[in-house]
Amino acid sequence: MPDCTRAALYLRVSTTRQAEVDLSIPDQQAQTSAYCARHSWRIVAEYVEPGASAMDDHRPEFQRMIERACDDDHPIDVIVVHSFSRFFRDAFGLEMYVRRLAKHNVRLVSITQELGDDPAQVMMRQVIALFDEYQSRENGKHVLRAMKENARQGFYNGSRLPLGYSLAEVEKRGHRTKKKLVVDPVEAETVRTIYRLYLEGEAGKGPMGVKEVTKTLNWRGLRTRLGARFGVASVHKVLTNPVYAGRWRFNKREAKTGRAKAESEVIEIAVPPIIETAMFDKAQASLKARDPRVLPPRVVTGPILLTGLAVCATCGGAMTLRTGTSKSGKVHRYYSCST
């Protein structure tokens, strides 16, 4: 290392709960600072990442640190972490960023896993990274299993509460407080209003579309739980969420990718309903019938009879109405393929 080595500290915990307890971050800071002092390194920056997983690089402070370390003015000589797992818990990701930093003459140093750059020690770092990744995935598997069992027993797991519900403490198990969903009477009335407007409308004008329901809610001054105006997406979410009929579904999607999981993985939790099942089912049938992928809006709103219905027999493209004038000056209207 050059004289007066400039060091950046990277401090991370995995969950917001760990960050709130405020134990691990100060301990990492104290140990990494002491390590730098023993080596006479000057600390020029600290990057603190509270409540962020190291299985990917979707971490704002991490990215800010990497970009700064790779700047042309070479402001950092070494990045110091408590252990390699604080930097990355994915073996491929760790190696990729170590090599990126190396191109800018920046080293990654773990104070609890001191390794050099010779081939044997590089291999040891890669082995450590593989074990860190394996341990992280195993921990995630065990946590998910515990959360699924918690859900089977009808308890709340910490996801965002749907509009119309609040939490009630129901029992104590050791140092943990178990909670369940209960109906919030004020918000529940907003939910019932959404379903009533969509299925029945008001003033005898018949059922409303999702957009009209949204406009009506905002005109009446009704707001979401966060105090924001309703949007089409938020109203549609209320209309399609089975929790309002008493069926709260847990473990529906992959946390990282958002992909839907198999139905066998989904757990339904019984909760107090806000609307009747028949009303919810009626709303789903109506939404399906009005789905633009089933019945394009132009079919019912277009001024031309066959708009959205007539298709080209050759390519399957939509037919559109055109206008032409003959030599005699007579105007003709006809359909032709739009493609």
* CATH 3.90.1750.20 matches 194-290: yes
Instruction: Specify the DSSP element, H or E, that contains 319.
Output: strand 319-325
- Residue 27 in contact with residue 102, Cβ under 8 Å? no
> Do 6-140 and 194-290 fold alike per CATH?
no
Q: How far is 164 from 183, CA to CA, in rounded Å?
A: 6
- Residue 32 in contact with residue 82, Cβ under 8 Å? yes
pTM of the model: 0.58
In degrees rounded to 5, what are phi and psi of residue 156? Answer: -75, 140
User: If you write DSSP's letter for every residue of 96-116 in order, what string do you get?
Assistant: HHHHHHHTTT-EEEESSS---
- pLDDT computed for residue 20 by the predictor: 47
Neighbours of 130 (CB within 10 A): 14
- pLDDT computed for residue 19 by the predictor: 46
Domain boundaries, the chain: 6-140, 194-290, 297-337
- pLDDT computed for residue 320 by the predictor: 75
Q: Which CATH architecture has domain 6-140?
A: 3-Layer(aba) Sandwich (3.40)
Q: Which residues lie below 8 Å from residue 74, measured CB to CB, with a gap of 6+? A: 104, 105
Q: How far is 21 from 28, CA to CA, in rounded Å?
A: 14
Tens-level pLDDT at each residue, the chain (339 residues): 455 899 999 999 876 555 445 558 888 999 999 999 999 999 999 999 887 787 888 889 999 999 999 999 999 999 999 988 888 888 888 899 999 999 999 999 999 988 877 788 888 888 888 888 888 888 888 888 888 888 888 888 877 889 999 998 888 887 788 889 899 999 999 999 999 999 998 877 888 999 999 999 999 999 998 889 999 999 999 999 999 999 888 888 877 777 888 888 888 888 899 999 999 999 999 988 877 665 555 554 555 666 666 778 887 777 777 777 877 878 888 888 876
Q: Which residues lie below 8 Å from residue 97, measured CB to CB, with a gap of 6+? A: 57, 66, 87, 88, 108
- pLDDT computed for residue 294 by the predictor: 56
- Residue 210 in contact with residue 198, Cβ under 8 Å? yes
